[in-house]
Structure formats: structure tokens, C-alpha cells
């Protein structure tokens, strides 16, 4: 049998269903690989080996007794360290929470456990999902497994790096301005930002209430879909939680995409300061592959990418300041310097500016919906080029540079997935995004999975 840590969730679930693999064997393979490999990339803050072994044994006993909890039953998963976990510290990668041990699980963690998932541990992040990988934080910076000189993207950095390095089969991240999709793109994994309100955020450290989403990263889009199956459902503890019909997302990964209409937002990523030539070529080839699968791809003009970026950054900055204001005033020394300055910036916006950004958000959502009329999906680049190296000075206000290619779908609340579309000449990942209409994750998943089946990129793993 192949190296068990190279299996995807769907394949491992099939093996366990046939009795050819146990959760304990699978979990032990991942724990051994974490011990052997993770010191190279520092993706884990806390490894919960004892709890993972107990959960795996429980899964095996249940299967022997005829209990089947679904595709995640016995599957090893990691959690971004802003997800509260009962009896296990949840640090937010910050001195402020370095010793915080919650009494209960976040709702999404509870649902994963109810589905039989095995939690391997807590994964590194940017401080409170808003800072940067800087030396003044309590844990080492997460490194990119494709090239440790480069950053893995944030803020779900540990989640992207751990999945890419085969240190877990799937991981939970959060996405307020691209924090699932950026590390997914930089680490060549799949990543899915669900529609705002689809997955509960109860028990997850907030960054910006009106934009925060929780979702999965995994090696394939299908694996993300199987995780999403366990996560959805209304949660009265989350004021933003939506009531939606149950959807079989795993089945959606096998839908044909013939006749699917895709609007290509080319103007967002091309131009004088556009993506690298390799990224452009990768997306052009991805368009061809999707067309070969029967999809119809046409260029469509959307609102200016900078409009979404400015709108989203104002909302994030103001809401993040409101959430962290007391600690910023009373315990500023507990924050990393970069995180502190980003939180303080929110104090300089007026109520009129914040309300204006929220009203502008509504207009952008309407304009995006109008541009999508007659189309099922939007396609665009995921990032501009290779991630920054750790040797470069990291700007405190990084968002004053190029606009974020991921921000539009945070502003509109639409579901969006990141899909790897190859590698540059120096071995760094290329990726594009597919975004769907609100609560139509199934269409996003179908197209992403179809592309992955038609291309060789899921056969490439970083050498560590």
C-alpha cells in the first residue's frame, strides 16, 4: 500500500469502508510524520497525540460495531489555532492567549467530532488572523513546504502548510479577506471559503463579524466537499448563521460540468501591474481544460478590483479594532508589533466612513450579481505571483500595496474555492479561484473537482 499520509480523504474513507484500513493505523502514520517532518515547517502549535489516538480507537470500535458516521469517520484533521477546543489550549498565535484553555469546543469542532474526525492538533496562524509572521510572537513562523524561504500565505498558514506537507488530511481555516484561499494558493492545496453564514463561527476567535467565514482546506476539492458535509447547518449561537437546505457536497464533486457557464474576470488580474506571466499562462490553460470538460468560459467585466479591496479593508480594520480595542489599550505589550499597529489603525476611521463602506458593499454585491447574470461561476486569479520571502521586510500595512484578488468574494459573501493550476519554473504553486452564487457551493465544487481530475497537479507533493 502507498504511504498512508499521501491518501486523500475520499480514498481513505473508501479503504476504511471496505475494512482495508483502520483509523488507528492512519492516525499513527500521521503522528509519526508530524514528529519526523514538522520541525522543518513549524505548522503545528500543539499536537494532541493522546487525544487523537483515543479518537481513532473509538472510530475503529464503532466501525467494528457497525456504526458509520460518514466520510470523515476516522479521518485525521488539523485545526487553525483560533478554533476553541475543550481542554486544549487555543492561542491565536499570540502571547495574549498563550495559556488559554477553553471549556467547550467551537461548534464546527463539535460537528467534526460528531462526524468521527480525529483531531491531530492545533495549527499555526497569523496572530488573531490579522498579524504577520514576526519574531515577536510566542511560536515560530510557519514555513512554506514547497520552499521554506517563502511564506505559506495567511492567515491560515499552518492549515495550508500542514495539508501540503501531508501532516493532516484536512484542516480548518478562516477567511475574512482571503485567509483560506491565500495559503491554499501558496501551498498548492484546495481551499473553500463557504458562503457567509453557511458554517458556524461560534467558538472561533473573531476578526470582523460581518465578513468572517470558516471553512476547509484539503488536498482536493472533493475532500473539501466531504469536510463541508459535516460542517453545515444552522447554529443559533452564531448571529450570522443561515438556515439552508441540506446539500450532498461530496456527490456534487462528481457532477458533470458540460454546459456550465463561467464568467472570466480577466481584467482583475491582467494589465500593467497584473499577475506574473507564468500565472497568466496557468490560468489560460485552466480555461482551456474547463472548456474541454464542456464548460463555457467568457470574459465579463466586473467592478474594479480596487473597489472591493478598499471596501473590505475598511470594514475589517474598523471591526477588528472594535473587537480588540480593550486589550490594545490595556495590554498592548501582549501583541506583536505588526498586529498591534493594524488593530490601532481602526481607531482612525469615522462612523460615517464605516457606514459608507457597508453601503458600498451592498452596491458592489448588487453590481457583481448583475455582472454574473446568465453565468454560474466567476473565474479569476488567486494571487499575483509567488509569496514573499522571509528575508524581505514585511510591511505593517501590507494592504496598501496591490489589491487583494480574494477580497471580492468576502465583500459579496459568495462561496469561492482555490484550485492549483501548476507550478512556476522555480517550483512555486500557481492557482485560480472559482466563485459561485450565494449558497451554491455545489457548483463551485463540481467545477473545481472536474478540473483536478483532468490535470496532473494533485500528483505533485513537496519534497521535505
DSSP letters, 17-40, are HTTS--HHHHHHHHHHHHHHHGGG
Q: What is the pLDDT of residues 66-77, one digit of tens each?
A: 999 999 999 999
Q: What is the three-class DSSP state of 167?
A: coil
Q: Count CB atoms within 10 A of the CB of residue 3.
A: 10
Q: Is the pLDDT of residue 1 over 60?
A: no
Looking up cell 492545533, which residue turns up? Answer: 122
Let me know if residue 73 belongs to a domain.
Answer: yes
Beta bridge mates, 193: 416
Looking up cell 488539523, which residue turns up? Answer: 78
Let me know if residue 91 belongs to a domain.
Answer: yes
Cα angle 137, 142, 148; round to 5: 130
Q: What is the pLDDT of residues 228-273, one digit of tens each?
A: 999 999 999 999 999 999 999 999 999 999 999 999 999 999 987 8
Q: What is the pLDDT of residues 103-133, one digit of tens each?
A: 999 999 999 999 999 999 999 999 999 978 8
Residue 455, pLDDT score = 98
Q: Is 241 a catalytic residue?
A: no
Q: Is the pLDDT of residue 452 over 70?
A: yes
- Rounded to an integer, what distance in angstroms lies between the CA atom of residue 336 and that of residue 339? 5
Mean pLDDT of 337-362: 97
- Sheet containing strand 416-423, strands side by side: 44-47, 118-123, 76-80, 170-175, 213-218, 190-193, 416-423, 429-436, 377-381, 261-264, 296-299
Residue 261, pLDDT score = 98
Residue 110, pLDDT score = 98
- Rounded to an integer, what distance in angstroms lies between the CA atom of residue 106 and that of residue 104? 7
Catalytic residue among 80, 97, 113, 193: 80
Instruction: Report DSSP letters for 325-341, one per residue.
Output: HHHHHH-GGGS-HHHHH
Let me know if residue 63 belongs to a domain.
Answer: yes
Q: What is the pLDDT of residues 280-339, one digit of tens each?
A: 999 999 999 999 999 999 999 999 999 999 999 999 999 999 999 999 999 999 999 999
Beta bridge mates, 433: 380, 418
Looking up cell 495549527, which residue turns up? Answer: 123
Residue 132, pLDDT score = 84
Let me know if residue 283 belongs to a domain.
Answer: yes
Residue 398, pLDDT score = 75
Residue 43: left (phi > 0), alpha (psi -120 to 50), or beta?
Answer: alpha
How would you classify the pairing of strands 213-218 and 261-264? Answer: unpaired
Residue 280, pLDDT score = 97
Q: Count CB atoms within 10 A of the CB of residue 47.
A: 19
Distances in Å between the Cα of 271 and the Cα atoms of 74, 384, 430 are 47, 11, 18
State the sign of the Cα–Cα–Cα–Cα dihedral 20, 26, 32, 38: positive
- Rounded to an integer, what distance in angstroms lies between the CA atom of residue 180 and that of residue 187? 11
- Whether 388 and 435 have beta carbons less than 8 Å apart is answered as no
Q: Binning pLDDT at 50, 70 and 90, where does residue 401 land? A: confident
How would you classify the pairing of strands 76-80 and 118-123? Answer: parallel
Residue 394, pLDDT score = 72
How would you classify the pairing of strands 190-193 and 213-218? Answer: antiparallel
| DSSP at 419 | E
Q: What is the three-class DSSP state of 245?
A: coil
Residue 332, pLDDT score = 97
CA 18 to chain centre: 30
Let me know if residue 464 belongs to a domain.
Answer: no
Residue 393, pLDDT score = 65
Let me know if residue 266 belongs to a domain.
Answer: yes
Q: Count CB atoms within 10 A of the CB of residue 218.
A: 28
Distances in Å between the Cα of 218 and the Cα atoms of 6, 75, 163, 190 are 12, 12, 6, 5
Q: Is the pLDDT of residue 2 over 90?
A: no
Residue 390, pLDDT score = 85
Catalytic residue among 43, 94, 157, 179: 179
Residue 392, pLDDT score = 66
Beta bridge mates, 119: 77
- Rounded to an integer, what distance in angstroms lies between the CA atom of residue 113 and that of residue 105? 10
Looking up cell 520552499, which residue turns up? Answer: 147
Residue 202, pLDDT score = 98
Reference 285, options 458, 460, 457, 459; nearest CA is 457
Let me know if residue 69 belongs to a domain.
Answer: yes
Residue 351, pLDDT score = 97
| CATH code assigned at 240 | 3.90.1300.10
Catalytic residue among 71, 94, 155, 404: 155
Let me know if residue 205 belongs to a domain.
Answer: yes
Q: What is the pLDDT of residues 157-211, one digit of tens each?
A: 999 999 999 999 999 999 999 999 999 999 999 999 999 999 999 999 999 999 9
Q: Is 80 a catalytic residue?
A: yes
Q: Binning pLDDT at 50, 70 and 90, where does residue 396 land? A: confident
How would you classify the pairing of strands 190-193 and 170-175? Answer: unpaired
Task: For residue 443, give its domain range.
Answer: 4-459
Q: Is 155 a catalytic residue?
A: yes
Q: Count CB atoms within 10 A of the CB of residue 396.
A: 17
Domain count, the chain: 1
Amino acid at each position: 500500500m502507498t504511504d498512508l499520509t499521501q491518501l486523500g480523504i475520499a480514498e481513505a474513507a473508501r479503504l476504511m469502508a471496505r475494512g482495508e484500513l483502520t483509523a488507528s493505523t492512519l492516525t499513527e502514520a500521521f503522528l509519526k510524520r508530524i514528529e519526523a517532518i514538522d520541525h522543518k515547517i513549524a505548522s503545528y502549535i500543539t499536537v494532541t497525540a493522546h487525544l487523537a489516538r483515543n479518537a481513532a480507537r473509538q472510530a475503529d470500535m464503532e466501525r467494528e460495531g457497525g456504526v458509520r458516521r460518514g466520510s470523515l469517520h476516522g479521518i485525521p484533521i488539523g485545526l487553525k489555532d483560533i478554533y476553541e477546543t475543550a481542554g486544549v489550549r487555543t492561542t491565536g498565535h499570540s502571547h495574549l492567549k498563550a495559556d488559554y484553555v477553553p471549556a467547550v469546543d467551537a461548534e464546527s469542532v463539535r460537528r467534526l467530532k460528531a462526524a468521527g474526525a480525529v483531531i491531530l492538533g492545533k495549527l499555526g496562524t497569523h496572530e488573531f488572523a490579522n498579524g504577520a509572521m514576526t519574531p515577536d510572537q510566542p511560536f515560530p513562523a510557519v514555513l512554506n513546504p514547497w520552499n521554506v524561504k517563502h511564506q505559506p500565505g495567511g492567515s491560515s498558514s499552518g492549515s495550508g502548510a500542514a495539508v501540503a506537507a501531508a501532516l493532516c488530511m484536512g484542516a480548518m481555516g478562516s477567511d475574512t479577506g482571503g485567509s483560506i484561499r491565500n495559503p491554499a494558493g501558496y501551498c498548492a492545496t484546495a481551499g473553500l471559503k463557504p458562503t457567509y453564514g453557511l458554517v458556524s463561527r461560534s467558538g472561533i476567535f473573531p476578526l470582523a463579524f460581518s465578513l468572517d467565514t470558516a471553512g476547509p482546506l484539503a488536498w482536493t476539492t472533493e475532500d473539501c466537499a466531504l469536510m463541508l458535509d459535516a460542517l453545515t447547518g444552522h447554529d443559533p449561537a452564531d448571529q450570522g448563521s443561515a438556515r439552508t437546505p441540506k446539500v450532498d457536497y461530496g456527490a456534487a464533486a462528481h457532477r458533470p460540468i458540460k454546459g456550465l457557464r463561467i464568467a472570466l474576470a480577466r481584467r482583475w488580474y491582467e494589465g500593467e501591474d497584473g499577475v506574473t506571466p507564468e500565472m497568466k499562462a496557468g490560468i489560460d490553460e485552466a480555461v482551456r481544460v474547463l472548456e474541454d470538460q464542456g464548460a463555457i468560459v467568457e470574459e465579463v467585466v466586473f467592478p474594479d478590483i480596487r473597489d472591493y479591496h478598499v471596501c473590505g479593508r475598511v470594514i475589517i480594520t474598523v471591526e477588528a479594532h472594535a473587537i480588540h480595542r480593550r486589550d490594545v489599550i490595556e495590554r498592548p505589550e501582549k501583541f506583536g508589533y505588526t498586529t498591534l499597529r493594524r488593530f490601532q489603525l481602526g481607531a482612525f476611521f469615522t462612523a460615517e466612513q464605516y457606514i459608507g463602506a457597508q453601503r458600498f458593499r451592498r452596491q458592489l454585491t448588487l453590481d457583481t450579481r448583475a455582472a454574473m447574470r446568465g453565468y454560474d461561476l466567476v473565474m479569476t486569479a488567486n494571487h499575483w505571483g509567488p509569496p514573499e520571502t522571509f528575508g524581505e521586510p514585511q510591511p505593517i500595512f501590507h494592504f496598501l500595496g496591490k489589491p487583494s484578488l480574494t477580497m471580492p468574494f468576502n465583500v459579496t459573501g459568495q462561496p469561492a474555492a482555490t484550485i492549483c493550476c501548476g507550478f512556476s519554473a522555480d517550483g512555486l504553486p500557481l492557482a485560480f479561484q472559482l466563485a459561485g452564487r450565494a449558497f451554491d457551493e455545489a457548483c463551485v465544487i463540481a467545477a473545481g473537482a472536474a478540473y483536478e481530475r483532468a490535470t496532473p497537479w494533485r500528483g505533485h507533493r513537496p519534497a521535505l
